Amino acid sequence: MVIVVENDIEIKKVDAQGRIVLPIEWRESDLKGSDEVLVIKKKGYLKILPKKKGDLTKFFDSVDLGADIDLDDKEWDEIEEEIYRGN
């Protein structure tokens, strides 16, 4: 049984194992096929958020290494080798 108190607030029953059903509209719009959520436990309430993978590629070109040098592919290959060797 679901009782709608306001547009975004519902009263739902919790079963004997502590489960509730998440609204289908929220699952379709926010989970988008995923089956993982973050459950944030605070005193007096739970907050459920969709678990999303971050896209870090937008930060790749924003890193300032503090050097104004232009390296060709061979030089980058040498730097990568040093990084992988741990030098």
Do 8 and 30 lie in one domain? The reply is: yes
Do 34 and 72 lie in one domain? The reply is: no
Range of the domain at 25: 2-50
Our count of domains for the chain comes to: 2
Residue 27 phi/psi, 5-degree rounding, is -60, -45
Determine the pLDDT at residue 9. Answer: 85
Do 45 and 10 lie in one domain? The reply is: yes
CATH number of the domain encompassing residue 23: 2.10.260
Do 71 and 43 lie in one domain? The reply is: no
Q: Are 34 and 50 in contact, with CB atoms under 8 Å apart?
A: yes
Do 45 and 60 lie in one domain? The reply is: no
- Distance (Å, whole) CA 2 – CA 85: 60
Among candidate residues 33, 31, 26, the one with its CA nearest the CA of residue 12: 26
pTM confidence score: 0.53
Longest C-alpha distance within the chain, in Å?
66
pLDDT per position in the chain (87 positions), as tens? 666 666 778 889 999 999 999 989 889 999 888 889 999 999 999 999 999 877 777 777 666 666 666 667 777 788 788 888 875
Do 60 and 24 lie in one domain? The reply is: no
